[in-house]
Amino acid sequence: MMVPILAIGPHVFASLPLSLQRIRERTVANWPAANRFGKGPVRQFTGMGEHEFEVEGLYFHHEWGGHDDYLALKRTQAAGQPVQLLGRAAGDFAASVFGTVVILEVGADHKWIDVTGIGRVVSFDVKLGAFGDEMPGGLF
């Protein structure tokens, strides 16, 4: 039985065929320094900066498929359209909408390549960025 863990638009990540191995997120707060006369600089909060979200996983195309799903993810990236990021927040069983994202980078590392040109083990990564300012500070 496939249990969805995360979805980037129409692309669902579960235990198979696109198996999630790692999720990384990073938020940035903008605190530029302002010089003061006769004193050291002081920092002022000017808002939140970039929110990045990265997914790493594996697929074993020859055993369970996954390469077609990977190529579909690259097609969504090439379409240049924002998509919804859905997932399960920590301790929650229902799906949550984390916000609208854009697919910044998609990459793969093929190992033990066969005659089809597809590796027997393929690790992949997807880097996302918030489309607007509706992404919460911490997703998980």
pLDDT in tens, 41-96: 999 999 988 888 899 999 988 888 888 999 999 999 999 999 999 887 666 666 77
Task: Give this prediction's pTM.
Answer: 0.78
What is the total count of domains within the chain? 1
Residue 116's H or E segment, with its range, is: none
Q: For residues 55 and 41, is the Cβ–Cβ distance under 8 A?
A: no
User: Please, which pLDDT band fits residue 140 given cuts at 50, 70 and 90?
Assistant: very low
Domain span at residue 88 reads 6-130
Residue in this structure with the two tokens 């498929």, named with its chain if needed:
65
Q: Tell me if residue 65 falls in helix, strand or coil.
A: coil
What is the CATH number for 62? 2.40.30.200
Nearest to 67 by CA among 31, 119, 14, 22: 119
Asked if residue 135 belongs to a domain, the reply is no
